[in-house]
Amino acid sequence: MIDVIDLRKRYGDLEVLKGITTTIREGEKVVIIGPSGSGKSTFLRCLNCLEDPTGGEIIFEGVNIADMRVDINIHRRRMGMVFQQFNLFNNKNVIENIMLAPVYIRTQELRAKKIKNFFIRIRNLFTSNKKELYEINTTKAKIIEEAKEQALKLLRRIGLEDKAYVYPSTLSGGQKQRIAIIRSLAMNPKVILFDEPTSALDPEMVGEVLDLIKQLADEGMTMVIVTHEMGFARKVATRVLFMDEGQIVEENTPEELFSNPKHPRTKEFLSKVLSVH
């Protein structure tokens, strides 16, 4: 579903990604591990072009989204992203956070159709071969109603229905992150990118967030996860990538990679992080 071909990113003289090639297939849960500064977050952020790659291609659903001429906004709607710092919109309450993008984008589409229909009607006045109008079976009120229903359903799922109308500043880190996750779910994404989703959380809240991610994984959502939680990586991943110095050093199934690493750099890293736990 996502084909990454020789992806490169440099900041000035510093080359952060030195040619990454990999394929993320539908339903896969890819976990990226590696020491800090290895470029794993940059790689993830390049996948939805939050950082513009300086070289290479990212083919998502058949389109090279690394190309600057592509309207990236359309493709980002199909890719959810969850951040380390949650990034809930502080000026909006929980349900507005979830509804903002779906409502805006659907009303925008509705408006575009209406405008097109208007021109088709005018055109039809002057020609005998009538063009068909786009079908419009919704209104703005209906869009809002549906988005609200969906948002409440998602909130119910994570047991935070009673928090629908409070502002993010009143929530705990774990609650914020779970809401950030369902906010990205509200767009019905094909894939969700997780950028260290538990690194900014208190230890006691890590569990609830990981549980939710695990649930989504079990439902068959495609995921790319950057994390330091090795135990979680082992449980959820279908494939683990080990990155170092801007390259994928080793990739394998979690069982193989954790218990039988081949590359010396992987061995060294794993011995360090696993001995701590």
Partner 1 sequence: MGSFAKKVEKFWEVFYEHGGYTRVLTGLRNTFYIAVAGLVIGIIIGTIIAIIAVSPKYKRLPRILNRICRLYVGFFRGSPMVVQLLLFYFVLLPLFGSRMTPLSVCMLVFGLNSGAYVSEIMRGGIMSVDPGQMEAARALGLSYWVSMLKVVVPQAVKNIIPTLGNEFIVLIKETSIVSFVGASDLYVAFSYIGSNTYEFMVPYLVMALIYIVLVAIIALIVKMIERSLRKSDRRN
Q: Applying CB under 8 A, which residues contact partner 1?
A: 48, 50, 73-77, 79-81, 83, 85, 87-93, 100-101, 104-105, 166-170, 180, 183-184, 187
User: Which C-beta is closer to partner 1: that of 64 or that of 93?
Assistant: 93
Element (H, E) at 176: helix 173-185
To partner 1, the closest distance from the beta carbon of 80 in angstroms equals 8
Rounded distance, CA 221 to CA 148, Å?
Answer: 23
Contacts of 96 (CB under 8 A, 6+ apart): 89
CB of 183: closest distance to partner 1 in angstroms?
7
- Minimum gap (Å) between residue 72 Cβ and partner 1: 8
- Measure the CA–CA gap between 74 and 76, rounded to whole angstroms: 6
Compute the least distance from the CB of residue 90 to partner 1, in Å.
Answer: 6
> Which token pair is 268?
């060294």
Q: How far is the CB of 122 from partner 1 (least distance, A)?
A: 28
d(CA 209, CA 211): 5
E strand segments, 135-258: 191-195, 222-226, 239-244, 247-252
Nearer to partner 1, 9 or 183 (CB): 183
Question: Cα separation of 62 and 86, whole Å?
Answer: 30
As a whole number of angstroms, the distance between CA 162 and CA 175 comes to 12
Structure tokens at 270: 């794993």
For partner 1, the closer CB: 92 or 113: 92
Q: What tokens appear for 208 in the block?
A: 């609830």
Identify the three-state secondary structure at position 232. Answer: helix
Nearer to partner 1, 20 or 171 (CB): 171
CB nearer partner 1, residue 212 or residue 248: 212
User: At closest approach, how far in Å is the CB of 105 from partner 1?
Assistant: 6
Give the E-state strand segments of the chain in sequence order.
Answer: 2-11, 14-24, 29-33, 55-60, 63-64, 79-82, 191-195, 222-226, 239-244, 247-252
| Min dist. Cβ of residue 169 to partner 1 (A) | 6
For partner 1, the closer of residues 24 and 49 by Cβ is: 49
170 or 271: whose CB is closer to partner 1? 170
